């Protein structure tokens, strides 16, 4: 039931139809370069972008919709959450603007309305309203080359591996998003290395939320434990002081 | 004996300045008042104010643990000031959070929307609860002054042990959870700092910092009020901190060795230098200093040592909160001066409240008085009725509030208005297109050249005998092949070589105001011709002026044609070019079945291999024009045609 | 010239406006504080609130004063105040500036209203100036400050009037505009530190004069100040 997107870098011609379709569907405004934007094309008004790499390679950047999203796990009010259908969606009415999601995302996806007085987090939501009703996201619908396609994640994986098998030597034998950070709903097939889509340090194949899990699970123990230790310490010290007092008294009486 | 007054004066000045900046932050948003950006969404305010602030307030739980739990009665004089510092520290943290959060009015959402997986959720709750607990812990002190509330005070005193215990438990949680915040970012945080035992390291360093913060705060406030510091008690704290620092050092080193990162410390990168500096200041040097018994009793060493630990541990928080991430994010974030002053301002306000509390409540065993609040100072004066009102207690408030007002005004003065009003849009100058017949347009130098064969476009217009009809105002203009130049050009007429597109559309993404009022005024006869453009009975403004096209009918304004409104600016280069090219291309691509991609971005925007002088090698194609210059001599200028 | 104008319109205006607003708040706060302190020290805690209110009312809307000797002068003073307050706040051009910089706007005066109010204010200010010089009693009561203030308030009104209504060359226009802005800003700065502070302190002045009566002369403070021996024990 988990939907996803497969983007085949070799097929993309960089026509930006997906970008303009996305803008239209989500009523995003025209994008002007702002001082707070960083050159990957994503912005509060651009939920997906095309990165151009040498050799006319075009890579579409968008939210990866991780299977276990770091952003959703760190949001203190649960404004971000992973839906059953696969999209990681954002509820602006809950958000308090802490921007922890932006810090935690291993792909550096969420963007912020820095210029607004009532700012929200902006990112691709896999056209949740559309896919809920059984439609396609706007971007895959708009793609003239079928370079980016929408479907069940498991089926997309099958398609991807089939393409690699059928065209030996055309692709790098890896489906980006199959395992990274516990797997993502948005997958890539490519003939060039796509390491630049995430941070340089290897993010590993385990879901990121696991890293805080141990710390968070030990919270109640630490809380009660510290209380216990403190009470115990206090009890011991008081006992000792009483003993000392008694001994002093005894000494005093002995002296007398 | 003006140390107190001067200290307060400086604090008032800084807080006034910060208040002005804070006001602007709430009017104009975070983007233009800070250097925060999409890659560094957490800056100085989180790294220093929140993370550092919470750590700096650790003195509260440390001293209560020593005094109430371990029953070390000799520390009694330090307890109340330390609890007060902790309370004010937490209030300061909350305030800086309110400034940093994008939607501060939603901060209470943490109470109703729960996400227990999030470390920040836990930190938020703990800070909320602990601030309340600290309030309850401290409130008996001010309540002493009000006999009315004796019952509440007695109640609070009775359950003080419970509050203390709760306070320690809560502190343990969130001091360590501040470390857990960064466990999810192994990809960002430099490996020297990243470790799965971050929470433990945070907790231990918080204890050390707490001890040193008590020391520092005690030394500083005694210095301000010219009292003799409690050197003997402080010496005990200094000896205790050696053990804590030693534990911290060992835990950190063992972790680094176990995770096989030891070589990284000396790999020569700036992060390794930062790490060494941080470790030296925060741990090694102070531990060595205080380990010598003679030194630990020396108040000068106490000063140095405590400042070192404070600076070092806060530096550690700043490193983890952002500085050590810059390598991975590739960003070059440096806090804007506004951010720095907000941080300073929050500290100043907290310090002022601290001084106020010390002077008015029984925080110290002997309550200090502000030296100038003597019984017979100049009487206060009412400005409106010119009456003297007897002895004021507010004489210092008069100067201090004036300082606040003046520095607020100076803050408003210094705030860079151009940045505030820019909406964060970069002003990218347009680079003129290069080439001859074939132009290579690369306005913002992002190397996706647009190859524009001018001659081909002219030829196409001729061949198709295009008759474009453009209407502006009441004029309808039909253009056919011979003067088809006007289909694309307006101000830039073919023979008027000195004005190119980019001269008016001079900014890549922002509008340019091209109307030169002075020039028009001078040209039209200076002093007596205002009425030519402005309606006489109205206030003179752009709104009441005549339209440009009333005098210059040949100026084709894309904006006017579209919305029926006249704008007094040139569109941005991108908008102008896109309006011009895309509209025509889109219309044609619908007509021409064989060219469906005509209106797509990549049809025009292509990456060409670059030649030697920044131009594509295929420039040679453009040399056509040079060999075969087009003849425009018999073109009738449209303006002459129309004005008739 | 443009840069100077922009400077006066931007940073300098922010500086002066902030000084005025906060300065007035400060003075109001200090006055209330001092009044409270004084009230605490009095033995007689009764306050004739009704009297204070009616007096303040009279003070702000001085229609009753019209019955007394200087009828013309009082009328002129009231009319002068009306123009003085309304024109700067509701002038279209001023609102336009606010709209451009912060994005807030409110209703504006029509051109003719603005014209007549400005003209009126200028005439009334001049006549008040003459009145202060001619009428014997007012002349005795006037300080230097009072004359200077009338003149200072005249400058922005006259220059504003020139800019809005007369046809002058661009250079002269800019010069007048600059003088208009600078003098206005000077007034902003001086307001909280001079007698013009009565714009916020007016409601308090009656309270304070009542309070002042509760302190008979020759109390310890007064002795100390007259003797110039601050800090001496009485």
pLDDT tens, position by position, B578-627: 877 887 787 777 777 777 777 777 677 766 554 434 455 555 444 433 33
pLDDT at C188: 92
Please state whether beta strands A3-8 and A186-189 pair in parallel, antiparallel, or not at all (unpaired): parallel
pLDDT at B348: 94
Q: What is the ipTM of this complex?
A: 0.90
pLDDT at C220: 53
Residue A97 domain flag: yes
Nearest CB to C37 within list B392, B412, B414: B392
Instruction: Examine the domain organization and report whether A166 and A222 are in the same domain.
Output: no
Residue A212 domain flag: no
Is 60 exceeded by the pLDDT of residue B340?
yes
Is 90 exceeded by the pLDDT of residue B17?
yes
Residues B515, B519, B521, B522, Cα dihedral to 10°:
-170
If we measure between CA atoms, which residue out of B328, B303, B321, B317 comes closest to residue B229?
A: B303
- Give me the residues of chain C with pLDDT under 50, please: 218, 227, 229-234
Higher pLDDT, B541 or B214: B214
User: Chain C partners of B399 at a C-beta cutoff of 8 Å?
Assistant: none
- Cα Rg, chain B, nearest whole Å: 35
Residues C195, B383: C-beta atoms closer than 8 Å: yes
Residues B115, A108: C-beta atoms closer than 8 Å: no
- Does A contact B via 3+ CB–CB distances below 8 Å? yes
pLDDT-wise least confident of B56-65, B250-259, B528-537, C90-99 = B528-537
Residue C130 domain flag: yes
Residue B286 has a CB neighbour count (10 Å cut-off) of 26
Instruction: Examine the domain organization and report whether A148 and A245 are in the same domain.
Output: no
Element (H, E) at A168: none
Compute the Cα dihedral for B187, B193, B195, B198 and give only its sign.
negative
Is 50 exceeded by the pLDDT of residue A10?
yes
Residues B376, C26: C-beta atoms closer than 8 Å: no
pLDDT at C111: 78
Closest A-chain CA to B194: A211
Residue-range domain boundaries for chain B: 3-375, 434-643
**pLDDT single digits (tens) B471-525:** 434 444 444 444 556 667 665 444 444 457 777 777 787 777 666 666 676 666 5
Residue range B534-556: mean pLDDT, rounded: 64
The CATH number of the domain where C38 resides is what?
Answer: 1.20.950
Is 90 exceeded by the pLDDT of residue B407?
yes
**Partners of A112 in the β-ladder:** A121
Instruction: Examine the domain organization and report whether A184 and A251 are in the same domain.
Output: no
Nearest CB to A35 within list B181, B184, B424: B424
Interface test with A, best of B58, B66, B118, B426 (most A CBs within 10 A): B118
Residue C59 domain flag: yes
User: Chain B partners of A16 at a C-beta cutoff of 8 Å?
Assistant: 600-602
Residues B401, C30: C-beta atoms closer than 8 Å: yes
Residues A111, B38: C-beta atoms closer than 8 Å: yes
Residues A172, A169: Cα–Cα separation, whole Å:
7
User: Chain C partners of B411 at a C-beta cutoff of 8 Å?
Assistant: 18
Assign B135 a pLDDT band (cuts: 50, 70, 90): very high
Residue range B136-164: mean pLDDT, rounded: 87
pLDDT at A74: 92
% of chain A beyond a pLDDT of 70: 97
Residues B406, C221: C-beta atoms closer than 8 Å: no
Residue range B627-634: mean pLDDT, rounded: 35
User: Chain B partners of C201 at a C-beta cutoff of 8 Å?
Assistant: 382-384
Instruction: Examine the domain organization and report whether A12 and A123 are in the same domain.
Output: yes
Residues B394, C172: C-beta atoms closer than 8 Å: no
Interface test with A, best of B58, B187, B188, B192 (most A CBs within 10 A): B187
Is 60 exceeded by the pLDDT of residue B385?
no
**pLDDT single digits (tens) B81-113:** 899 999 999 999 999 999 999 999 999 998 898
Residues C169, B527: C-beta atoms closer than 8 Å: yes
Given CB atoms, is B525 within the 8 Å cutoff of chain C?
no
Instruction: Examine the domain organization and report whether A192 and A131 are in the same domain.
Output: yes
Instruction: Examine the domain organization and report whether A128 and A228 are in the same domain.
Output: no
Residue C234 domain flag: no
Residues A19, A24, A30, A33, Cα dihedral to 10°:
-30
Domains in chain C, number: 1
Given CB atoms, is C224 within the 8 Å cutoff of chain B?
yes
pLDDT at B484: 54
Instruction: Examine the domain organization and report whether A150 and A41 are in the same domain.
Output: yes
Alpha-carbon distances of B428 from B217, B417, B443, rounded to whole Å: 50, 19, 9
pLDDT at A75: 92
- Quickly tell me which residue has 């003997």 as its tokens: B232
Alpha-carbon distances of B527 from B538, B550, C172, C173, C177, rounded to whole Å: 18, 21, 9, 9, 15
Q: Is B592 exposed, middle or buried (0-12, 13-18, 19+ CB in 10 A)?
A: exposed
Residue C13 domain flag: yes
Residues B12, B399: Cα–Cα separation, whole Å:
10
Domain range spanning residue C66? 2-227
Do B44 and B317 form a contact (C-beta atoms < 8 A)? Answer: no
Residue C233 domain flag: no
Is 70 exceeded by the pLDDT of residue B526?
no
Residue A223 domain flag: yes
Nearest CB to C169 within list B374, B376, B526: B526
Write out residues 185-204 of B within 8 Å (CB-CB) of A. 185-188, 191, 196, 199
Residue range B352-368: mean pLDDT, rounded: 82
Residues C204, B384: C-beta atoms closer than 8 Å: yes
Interface test with C, best of B384, B511, B522, B535 (most C CBs within 10 A): B384
User: Chain B partners of A109 at a C-beta cutoff of 8 Å?
Assistant: none
Chain C nearest CA to B33, separation (Å): 15
pLDDT at B490: 61
User: Chain B partners of A117 at a C-beta cutoff of 8 Å?
Assistant: 26-29
**pLDDT single digits (tens) A18-65:** 888 888 889 888 777 788 887 677 888 889 988 878 777 888 999 999
Domains in chain A, number: 2
Q: Copy the structure tokens of residue A106.
A: 């291993």
pLDDT-wise least confident of B158-172, B329-343, B354-368 = B354-368
**pLDDT single digits (tens) A182-226:** 889 999 998 888 888 888 766 778 888 888 888 888 888 888 888
Instruction: Examine the domain organization and report whether A31 and A157 are in the same domain.
Output: yes
Residue A107 domain flag: yes
Domain range spanning residue A110? 3-206
Element (H, E) at B368: none
Superfamily of domain B3-375: Formate dehydrogenase/DMSO reductase domain (1.20.1630.10)
Q: How many CB pairs under 8 A join A and B?
A: 229
pLDDT at C16: 93
Q: Which residues contact B146 (CB under 8 A, 6 or more apart)?
A: none
Interface test with B, best of C5, C25, C38 (most B CBs within 10 A): C38
Residues C221, B394: C-beta atoms closer than 8 Å: no
% of chain B beyond a pLDDT of 90: 23
Residue C220 domain flag: yes
Chain B nearest CA to C136, separation (Å): 22
Go through chain A and tell me how many residues it has: 256
Chain A nearest CA to B597, separation (Å): 9
% of chain B beyond a pLDDT of 70: 74
pLDDT at B208: 92
pLDDT at C7: 87
Residues B38, A13: C-beta atoms closer than 8 Å: no
What does pLDDT average to over chain A?
Answer: 87
Residues A146, A18: Cα–Cα separation, whole Å:
11
Alpha-carbon distances of A45 from A23, A28, A112, C196, rounded to whole Å: 7, 5, 10, 50
Instruction: Examine the domain organization and report whether A179 and A244 are in the same domain.
Output: no
What does pLDDT average to over chain B?
Answer: 78
Q: Copy the structure tokens of residue B531.
A: 């009425």
Is 60 exceeded by the pLDDT of residue B562?
no
pLDDT at B514: 66
pLDDT at C67: 65
Do B84 and B138 form a contact (C-beta atoms < 8 A)? Answer: yes
Residue C222 domain flag: yes
pLDDT at A14: 76
């Amino acid at each position: 039931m988990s939907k996803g997107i497969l983007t085949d870098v070799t097929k993309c011609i960089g026509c930006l139809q997906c970008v303009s379709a996305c803008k239209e569907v989500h009523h995003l405004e025209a994008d002007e370069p702002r001082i707070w934007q960083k050159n990957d094309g994503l912005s509060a008004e651009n939920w997906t972008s095309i990165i151009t790499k040498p050799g006319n390679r075009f890579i579409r950047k968008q939210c990866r919709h991780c299977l276990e999203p770091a952003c959703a796990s760190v949001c203190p009010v649960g404004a971000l959450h992973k839906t059953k259908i696969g999209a990681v969606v954002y509820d602006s009415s809950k958000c308090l603007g802490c921007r922890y999601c932006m810090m935690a995302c291993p792909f550096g996806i969420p963007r912020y309305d820095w210029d607004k007085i009532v700012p929200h987090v902006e990112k691709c939501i896999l056209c949740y309203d559309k896919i809920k009703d059984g439609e396609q996201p706007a971007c895959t619908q708009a793609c003239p080359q079928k370079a980016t396609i929408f479907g069940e994640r498991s089926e997309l994986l099958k398609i991807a591996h089939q393409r690699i098998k059928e065209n030996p030597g055309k692709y790098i034998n890896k489906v980006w998003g199959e395992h990274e950070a516990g797997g993502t709903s948005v997958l890539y097939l490519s003939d060039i290395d796509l390491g630049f889509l995430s941070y340089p340090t290897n993010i590993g194949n385990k879901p990121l939320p696991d890293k805080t899990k141990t710390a968070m699970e030990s919270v109640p123990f630490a809380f009660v434990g510290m209380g216990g230790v403190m009470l115990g310490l206090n009890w011991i010290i008081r006992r000792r002081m009483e003993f000392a007092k008694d001994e002093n008294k005894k000494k005093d009486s002995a002296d007398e | 004996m003006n140390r107190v007054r001067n200290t307060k004066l400086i604090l008032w000045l800084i807080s006034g300045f910060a208040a002005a900046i804070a006001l602007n932050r709430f009017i104009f948003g975070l983007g233009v008042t800070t250097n925060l950006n999409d890659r560094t969404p957490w800056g100085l305010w989180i790294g220093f104010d929140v993370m550092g602030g919470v750590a700096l307030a650790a003195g509260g739980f440390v001293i209560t643990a020593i005094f109430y739990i371990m029953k070390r009665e000799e520390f009694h004089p330090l307890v109340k000031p330390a609890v007060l510092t902790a309370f004010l520290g937490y209030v300061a943290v909350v305030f800086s959070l309110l400034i940093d959060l994008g939607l501060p009015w939603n901060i209470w959402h943490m109470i109703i929307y729960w996400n227990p997986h999030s470390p920040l959720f836990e930190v938020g709750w703990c800070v909320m609860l602990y601030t309340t607990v600290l309030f309850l812990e401290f409130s008996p002190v001010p309540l002493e002054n009000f006999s009315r509330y004796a019952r509440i005070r007695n109640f609070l005193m009775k359950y003080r042990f419970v509050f203390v215990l709760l306070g320690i438990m809560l502190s343990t949680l969130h001091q360590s959870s501040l470390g857990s915040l960064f466990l999810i970012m192994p990809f960002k945080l430099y490996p020297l700092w990243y470790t799965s035992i971050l929470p433990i390291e945070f907790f231990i360093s918080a204890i050390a910092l707490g001890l040193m913060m008590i020391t520092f705060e005690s030394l500083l406030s005694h210095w301000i009020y010219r009292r003799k510091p409690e050197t003997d008690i402080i010496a005990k704290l200094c000896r205790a901190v050696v053990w804590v620092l030693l534990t911290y050092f060992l835990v950190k080193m063992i972790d680094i060795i176990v995770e096989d990162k030891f070589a990284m410390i000396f790999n020569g990168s700036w992060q390794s230098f930062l790490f060494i500096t941080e470790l030296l200041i925060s741990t090694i040097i102070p531990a060595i200093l205080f380990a010598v018994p003679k030194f630990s009793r020396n108040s000068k060493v106490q000063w140095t040592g405590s400042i070192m630990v404070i600076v070092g541990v806060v530096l550690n928080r700043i490193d983890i909160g952002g500085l050590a991430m810059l390598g991975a994010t590739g960003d070059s974030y440096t806090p804007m001066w506004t951010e720095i002053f907000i941080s300073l301002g929050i500290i100043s306000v907290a310090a002022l409240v601290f001084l106020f509390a010390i002077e008015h409540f029984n925080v110290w065993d002997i309550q200090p008085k502000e030296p100038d609040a003597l019984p017979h100072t100049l009487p206060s004066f009412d400005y409106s009725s010119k009456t003297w009102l007897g002895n004021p207690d507010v004489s210092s408030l008069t100067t201090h509030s004036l300082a606040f007002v003046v520095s607020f005004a100076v803050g408003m003065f210094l705030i860079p208005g151009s940045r505030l009003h820019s909406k964060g849009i970069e002003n990218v100058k347009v680079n003129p297109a290069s080439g001859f017949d074939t132009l290579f347009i690369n306005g913002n130098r992002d190397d996706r050249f647009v190859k524009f064969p001018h001659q081909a476009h002219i030829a196409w217009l001729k061949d198709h005998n295009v008759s474009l009809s453009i209407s502006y105002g009441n004029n309808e203009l039909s253009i056919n092949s011979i003067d088809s130049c006007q289909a694309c050009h307006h101000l830039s007429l073919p023979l008027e070589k000195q004005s190119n597109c980019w001269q008016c559309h001079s900014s890549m993404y922002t509008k340019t105001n091209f109307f030169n009022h002075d020039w028009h005024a001078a040209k039209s006869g200076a002093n007596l011709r205002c009425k030519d453009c402005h309606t006489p009975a109205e206030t003179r403004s752009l709104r009441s002026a005549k339209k440009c096209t009333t005098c210059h009918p040949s100026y084709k304004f894309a904006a006017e044609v579209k919305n029926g409104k006249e704008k007094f600016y040139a569109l941005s280069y991108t908008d102008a070019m896109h309006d011009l090219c895309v509209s025509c291309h889109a219309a044609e691509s619908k007509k021409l079945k064989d060219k469906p991609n005509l209106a797509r971005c990549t049809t025009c925007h292509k990456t060409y291999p670059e030649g030697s002088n920044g131009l594509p090698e295929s420039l040679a194609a453009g040399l056509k024009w040079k060999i075969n210059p087009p003849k425009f001599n018999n073109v009738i200028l449209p303006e002459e045609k129309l004005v008739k | 010239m443009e840069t100077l104008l922009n400077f006066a319109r931007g940073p300098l205006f922010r500086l002066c406006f902030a000084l005025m607003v906060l300065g007035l708040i400060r003075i109001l706060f200090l006055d209330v504080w001092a009044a409270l302190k004084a009230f605490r020290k009095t033995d007689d805690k009764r306050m004739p609130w009704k009297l204070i209110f009616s007096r303040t009312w009279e003070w702000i809307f001085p229609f009753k004063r019209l019955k007394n000797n200087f009828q013309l002068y009082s009328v002129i003073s009231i009319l002068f105040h009306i123009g003085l307050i309304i024109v700067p706040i509701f002038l279209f051009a001023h609102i336009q500036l606010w709209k451009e910089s912060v994005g807030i706007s409110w209703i504006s005066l029509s051109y003719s209203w603005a014209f007549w109010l400005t003209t009126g204010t200028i005439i009334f200010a001049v006549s008040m100036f003459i009145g202060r010089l001619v009428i014997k009693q007012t002349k005795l009561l006037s300080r230097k400050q009072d004359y200077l203030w009338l003149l200072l308030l005249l400058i922005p009104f006259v220059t504003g009037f020139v800019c809005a209504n007369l046809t002058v060359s661009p250079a002269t226009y800019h010069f007048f505009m600059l003088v208009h802005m600078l003098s206005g800003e000077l007034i902003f700065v001086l307001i909280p530190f001079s007698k013009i502070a009565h714009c916020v302190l007016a409601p308090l002045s009656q309270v304070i004069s009542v309070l002042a009566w509760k302190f008979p002369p020759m109390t310890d403070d007064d002795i100390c100040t007259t003797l110039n021996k601050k800090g001496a024990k009485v």
